[in-house]
Amino acid sequence: MAFGQAGNDARLVLRTIRGTFDFRGRSRGTEAALWWFGVPILLSLMTSAVTRLTSEEIGSKAGATLSILYLLPAFALLVRRLHDQDRSGWWALLLPATIATALGPKHGLVLVSLLLLALALFAFSFAPETVGPNRFGPDPRGERPKGGGEEGGVRAPRLNLTPVSRVSGPQRRRHDMAGGWTRDGAVQDQIDDTVKDAVNRARARLLGGEGLDECEECGEPIPEGRRKALPGVRTCVACQSARDAKVVQAGINRRGSKDSQLR
């Protein structure tokens, strides 16, 4: 389970990197969370490792390089997150504005502006998304990347939770037939009785007793190989096939509910 989730997270991070210059489509909030919070931790560990193995100067340069590489995909990611909320991607210009403010002189007004810009970026990155397709493309939560876990596998079918009072026409009639006036558990009783009847019919067709050398239907000799393979056989292949074709499978057994018999 943990390895599957880690694989899904890694695929989302790689999707962000591959989409560095992809300003189309939509991205999930999980992808943004991993990039904004998970990747910086990894880059910080990498910078610390480089500093310990080399020197502070080289570590500082490595950290600056990694920071630039980290920010390159962030702009396109923010655009796709805005698309996921059905907003224009032009709002992503807040990101370079925030970076420019952070690199500028530090005084009271600049710090307040920086804080407001950062809050706006956070809001846009994790605001509620639109469910289903919108003008920017399909819902990314509906995509099925390879692998298991939360992102992979088969999507569970949606349940129809429409209240009975809102159901009309043939659908309402089917609903009433399924369990409109029945007691609790009556439908399951019908299913159990149907299965029991099918088992009894199958057992009744099992061969037993003394077999015949000639078919009791047409009088033709029954081959010795058939008599040895099926002890107790009384018909030839052709007659038995015709007999099996006449067997009618019963529908739903309604004995489980007297209410059903009233319909």
Does pTM top 0.85 for this prediction?
no
> What's residue 259's pLDDT?
46
**4 band by pLDDT with thresholds 50, 70 and 90:** low
> What's residue 256's pLDDT?
46
Looking at per-residue pLDDT, the higher value among 85 and 259 belongs to 85
86: phi > 0 → left, psi -120 to 50 → alpha, else beta; which?
Answer: left
> What's residue 243's pLDDT?
79
The residue extents of the domains of the chain are 2-142, 184-261
> What's residue 154's pLDDT?
42
Average pLDDT on 60-66 reads: 90
Indicate if the pLDDT at residue 165 is higher than 70: no
Looking at per-residue pLDDT, the higher value among 135 and 150 belongs to 135
205 alpha-carbon distance from chain centroid: 44
Contact residues for 1 (Cβ-Cβ < 8 A; gap 6+): 149
Indicate if the pLDDT at residue 86 is higher than 60: yes
Contact residues for 191 (Cβ-Cβ < 8 A; gap 6+): 252, 256
> What's residue 53's pLDDT?
92
Of 29, 137, 136, give the one whose Cα is nearest residue 78: 29
Whether residue 29 contacts residue 125, with contact meaning beta carbons closer than 8 Å, is answered with: yes
> What's residue 2's pLDDT?
56
pLDDT digit string, tens, across residues 243-254: 777 755 545 455
* Helices 2-18 & 56-84 angle (0-180, nearest 10): 90
Whether residue 185 contacts residue 192, with contact meaning beta carbons closer than 8 Å, is answered with: no
Contact residues for 214 (Cβ-Cβ < 8 A; gap 6+): 220, 221, 222
